[in-house]
Amino acid sequence: MKKPRLMLAGAHSGVGKTSVSAGVMSALTRRGTCVQPFKVGPDYIDPAFHTFVAGRKSRNLDSWMLSEETVRSLFCRNAPDQGAGLSIIEGVMGLFDGHTETAAGSSAHVASILSAPVVLVINGAAVSRSAAALVHGFDHFQPGFRLAGVIINMLSSRQHYEMLKRFIETEAQAPCFGYLSKNHEYALESRHLGLVPSAEVDRLAERLAALAQAAAETIDLDGLAALAESAPAIEAAPLPPAVVSANPARIGLALDSAFNFYYEDGLDLLIRLGAELAPFSPMKDSALPPGLSGMYIGGGFPEIFAAELAANRPMLEAVKAALDDGMPAYAECGGLMYLCRSLTDHEGREYEMAGFFPEKTSMTRRLQNFGYVESRFEEDTVLGPAGTKIRAHEFHHSRL
């Protein structure tokens, strides 16, 4: 199958690859190109920006939590065919940053699995000829790996770009596909887990429109589209067939501004296995959807909306009553915090939560846990029997 695709990867975290990716996706979409977004690794926030600008749900590709064949299958299932559009994959952290000392989970690993051309995003704000050394190092670091090009971010002028372009193309032999200027009009703000979620960004549509316009003016969109078209054909095994059930398991899905950290392919898999998802808002709804078989309360930013969550006593009581009555539930990260006795925010304000678990939770100023983990179930759970081993990731600014 011909699936036009390319990856936009960063030299390091904070280089602005999400701004570049969202700008390119938005500019291409505005030209009438169908763009399917993807994100490498366990990230919920960046894909929300992708979805907003491309009008298609962004998908995660993780080569440590999933097998290479599954990564290929999920990509091929969602990527448009040649003539129907193209896929843009945003990398994670730095290009070669993966699980500990290995390449697993890195942007470079996913690019190799998908045979996707890689364009490196670098910060050119305070550099001249050294930019060529940086690009040359990334281009020759891993045997058999080659960059397809470079985009330079955070520049102050066209003249600065032309100088860096000359150094990179003549001394590192890597083509440049343009640049973005440093501009507060379309800068995306950060919080403790990365970018502020798209649902909370002030004047989001206006900011992203300005970003798309800037990308259209200073990034070679035609060149990137041609690069995506140059990707070789890719093959993958089909995913298991969907289960058709006359009596599907109806799962309540907490979904609003406080809880929205979900993987689209994870939700799709539940449906393919015969589940029916029933979204509800812990912030605004007063009752759970009727006829539930179970609940799924994912992560998010409950600490930002703690006052609203605590004020909605009917929902808190309905959730606790359902769990007390034995309803199976899976609650992770922010969802777990919601089920505890209370949540204390960054300012020290304590809010009463559902109280199913007697523990209290509190936000911290410093990162508590970060990275991939392997876990083993010590008891039988709804996710598997005792002894089951799973792979997951942690990113916590909170304590139980």
DSSP symbols for 312-346 = -HHHHHHHHHHHHTT--EEE-THHHHHHSSEEE-T
One-letter amino acid at 297 equals: I
Write out the two tokens for 284.
Answer: 């605004």
Query: Please, what is the angle between helix 107-114 and helix 68-78, to 10°?
Result: 70
Is 333 labeled as catalytic in the residue annotation?
yes
User: For strand 294-297 and strand 259-261, is the pairing parallel, antiparallel, or unpaired?
Assistant: unpaired
Sheet holding 149-155, edge to edge: 59-61, 35-40, 86-94, 5-10, 118-123, 149-155, 176-181
C-alpha 252, offset from chain centre: 23
* Candidate list 34, 76, 176, 333, residue with the active-site label: 333
Which residues lie across from 296 on neighbouring strands?
253, 330
Query: Please, what is the angle between helix 45-54 and helix 17-30, to 10°?
Result: 20
Summary count for the chain: helices (H), strands (E) = 12, 21
Cα separation, 386 vs 372, in Å, equals 21
Cα separation, 358 vs 339, in Å, equals 9
Cα separation, 302 vs 304, in Å, equals 5
The DSSP call for residue 124 is -
Tell the residue number behind the tokens 């990731």, with chain if given: 393
Torsion angle of the four alpha carbons 210, 211, 213, 218, in this order, in degrees rounded to the nearest 10: 140
Cβ atoms < 10 Å from Cβ of 147: 20
One-letter amino acid at 59 equals: R
Which residues lie across from 119 on neighbouring strands?
8, 149
Using CA atoms, how far residue 64 sits from 9, 70, 133, 172, in Å, is 17, 11, 30, 31
The set of catalytic residues is 333
